[in-house]
A = this chain, B = another copy of it.
């Protein structure tokens, strides 16, 4: 498990406490309940509750450690508000809008016009002062290494690579023209426009010995992490959406796209030009044939093909059926 301080990637704009937040969104507040006042320093997700954080939820599935930590819950769920579990809670209308409003007020991020990062030019690449790059790493030409980025031992970053909001382990190779840690594609479909993109305040974690090809895009998590497990091999022109978690020893061929919040197990082999619906889970040792469109979760050890992807033998039978029919 990676430990990091969100603020090293997304600095705070100013000191802000729970009362300030209530004032900031007063137009949207239906009711509120405060037990104590504390400074907001972080952001929590339903996956992980963090100290002195704000968390947004329309249901009550908060993580179990919630009792010992100061957090402010913001919800549009009246039942959640009514029960007496939460010490500090605000009931709002239009939760997704309030999410954007608060997080843009708290955090500096790259989709804010005022996020101007200072770089130093080193060997014809641009490294942010606040990045931490191991001396053994080999950084190519015209790269941009953003604020907070950590790059481990013996990494090879080729040319024209952009790495932001990311932590890389050892022996990671990133090939040319690839973009790591850019904005996830998250917003309310009924309220589009660049200014309505939900702030994406998570990061990308790339574990040891991962190889990533050329012209790929790996988006950072919305609140938590997009994770690529040890020894994964990614080919060119691959898209990995926000919050995706990929296990160890996963091989992904060119031009495949993994939608947001997909979870992939260990030892999975994925062909080229595969697509996946968001929020599904792919088991361990699964094999996915090229050009498959995976629309639902796949259990361990299965081999699938086609669109919608089914057991590969069923897919083959279907092709023969169609051929034979008159």
Q: How far is the CA of A233 from the CA of B198 in the complex (A)?
A: 12
Q: Is A116 part of the contact surface with B, judged by Cβ < 8 Å?
A: yes
Query: Contact between A237 and B257 (Cβ–Cβ < 8 Å)?
Result: yes
List the B side residues contacting A219 at CB < 8 Å: 214, 236
How many A residues are at the interface, by size bracket?
35 or more
Number of copies: 3
Residues of B close to A291: CB separation below 8 A: 275, 293, 307
Closest to A136 in B: B113
Is A6 an interface position by the 8 A CB rule? no
Q: Which residues of A contact B (CB under 8 A)?
A: 110-111, 113-116, 119, 121, 124, 126, 136, 138, 140-142, 144, 154, 156, 158-160, 162, 164, 171-173, 175-179, 182-183, 185, 187, 189, 192-195, 197, 209-211, 213-217, 219, 230-233, 235-237, 239, 241, 249, 251, 253-255, 257, 259, 269, 272-273, 275, 277, 290-291, 293, 307-308, 314, 318-319, 321-323, 325-326
- Beyond A171-B194, A214-B219, 12 additional contacts (C-beta under 8 Å) are A116-B138, A144-B160, A156-B194, A164-B176, A185-B254, A189-B269, A235-B239, A236-B239, A239-B254, A254-B257, A308-B319, A322-B322
